[in-house]
């Protein structure tokens, strides 16, 4: 009886470990071309991508935003650099204001980075300032 319980636990644990790895790979595949979508300023395609990730994996933008890097930049920084106004404003509107005010991977907040790059006149910057 004890062997059956131990065997069942081992099988259940290995199945969960495998499914978590498979899910991480699936999420990476689902988000693979998100940088290209942001750079192309394709708001409709980004919305579809965000909806599919939310329905398939139960993840919202704030859950995977910090894990995505487009050439070393975050999605909003990529939108600002590419002058992707529609996508950039959509990203700013979908992120919690608390997360928008926090420093990113390089230690700079979005506002500090915008000021450093001289992008204060961007509509994305105006939307960011309204949200924070």
Quick one: pLDDT at residue 93? 92
- pLDDT, tens only, 13-69: 555 444 444 455 677 777 778 888 999 999 999 999 889 888 988 988 888 888 888
> Contact 58/90 with Cβ under 8 angstroms?
no
Torsion 47-53-59-61 (CA) sign: negative
Q: Tokens representing 58?
A: 């139960």
């Amino acid at each position: 009886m004890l062997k059956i319980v131990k065997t069942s636990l081992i099988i259940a644990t290995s199945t969960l470990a495998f499914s978590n790895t498979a899910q991480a790979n699936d999420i990476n595949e689902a988000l693979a071309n998100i940088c290209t979508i942001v750079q192309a300023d394709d708001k409709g395609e980004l919305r579809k991508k965000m909806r599919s990730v939310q329905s398939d994996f139960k993840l919202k933008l704030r859950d995977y935003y910090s894990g995505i890097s487009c050439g070393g930049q975050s999605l909003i920084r990529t939108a600002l650099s590419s002058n992707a106004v529609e996508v950039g404003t959509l990203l700013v509107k979908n992120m919690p204001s608390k997360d928008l005010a926090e420093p990113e991977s390089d230690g700079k907040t979005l506002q500090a980075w915008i000021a450093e790059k001289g992008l204060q006149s961007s509509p994305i910057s105006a939307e960011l300032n309204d949200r924070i």
